[in-house]
Amino acid sequence: MKNALTTVAMSAALGLCGVTGAAQAEPSYEQQVIALTNEHRTAKGCAGLAENGALRTAARGHSRDMAAHDHMSHQGTNGSDPGDRITQSGYPAKKWAENVAYGQPSPKAVVDAWMRSSGHRANILDCGLSEIGVGHVVNAEGVPYWTQDFGTRR
């Protein structure tokens, strides 16, 4: 109780009335993509996807590769496919899927684009997938590259 009161008193002294505890950071673009994806999934009766660090590593690495080489594809510039990258990240996939995109300026724009594409939409709404990692990387010209890696563990 003393810590809570101290935090409130310090916040008031700093002119932060109405704010208690640590300031809440705005969700990252990657977190926003996950939240929007889960909204679509739950609206269709699927469970939400849990964020997974290994899938995030695979997704960020692929977005970084695409951005660095101005190349949008499921195939990496080193010849890798999504399954290769997911396995190399340490994720024990029984099932996996991937969505990629570029140019969309916001999480809402990229999720909307994926939902308008039958293949990408099918990945998002696949109730057999349970985890997700998202990668968002902007290249030197300011073009955003996006990857969603989905998985279900063995």
Per residue in 27-68, pLDDT (tens digit) is 899 999 999 999 999 999 999 999 999 999 999 999 999 999
Residue 4 has pLDDT above 70, yes or no: no
Written as one letter, the residue type at 120 is: H
Structural tokens at position 103? 């140019």
Question: For residue 26, what pLDDT is reported?
Answer: 81
Mean pLDDT for 127-141 is: 98
pTM of the model: 0.83
Written as one letter, the residue type at 55 is: L
- Please name each of the domains of the chain with its CATH number: 29-153 (3.40.33.10)
Structural tokens at position 9? 């008193």
Instruction: Give the Cα separation of 49 and 65 in Å (integer).
Output: 25
Question: For residue 25, what pLDDT is reported?
Answer: 78
Where does the pLDDT of residue 11 fall: very low under 50, low under 70, confident under 90, or very high at 90 and above? Answer: very low
Residue 10 has pLDDT above 90, yes or no: no
Structural tokens at position 57? 């590593």
Cβ–Cβ under 8 Å, residues 60 and 135: yes
Instruction: Give the Cα separation of 6 and 21 in Å (integer).
Output: 10
